[in-house]
Amino acid sequence: MYLIVGLGNPGRQYEKTRHNVGFEVIDRLADRLSASVDEKKFKGCYGKGVIGGNKVILLKPLTYMNLSGESVRAAMDFYKIDPDHMIVVYDDVSLDVGQLRIRTKGSAGGHNGIKNIIAHLGTQEFPRVKVGVGEKPPRMDLADYVLSRFSGEDQEKMNAAFVEAARAVEAMIIEGTDWAMNRFNGHREG
């Protein structure tokens, strides 16, 4: 069994913002699996599906980004899932718009959602899919940037990247993370 977590913030005011790309990828994955992510538990919304014969739990924490670890820990404890069977999908300002980067482990890199998950799990050794949202403009506050929306052209790139990230998650489970890294890292839609 795998836990697939998409990071974001709850509420209409955060929909389609850079910080909510994890939620968007979970929605695309749910569509691909004909699953719904509308059950409430673990301080989040979740649903169930199957990828390559493996049961998967799709989770969107509703704790707000900075407390994502609370939701993740609750789901992992309930389903007895080890960190190497959890995949976290989130935004990355150090990658170009629509670029993907899969990692097997790593630091939070300044991302508060990942920082909180690491704090709750006591490890940074869990697979993740970073989805590039582009570098913030000079003199713009980082929080303002990640809570802003994409331009029309960038939104088109991101829509393609959400589907590509969902495919990357499937590949990580079916083919393995190393295979998926070779296939998807650096790939950019648009």
Task: Provide the annotated active-site residues.
Answer: 19
The secondary element (H helix, E strand) that includes residue 131 is: strand 128-132
Neighbours of 56 (CB within 10 A): 23
Place of tokens 């991101």: 158
DSSP per position, 71-124 = HHHHHHHHHT--GGGEEEEEEETTS-TTBEEEESS---TT-HHHHHHHHHHT--
Distance (Å, rounded) from C-alpha 68 to C-alpha 70? 5
Nearest to 132 by CA among 185, 180, 82, 176: 185
Contact 136, 89 (CB under 8 A): no
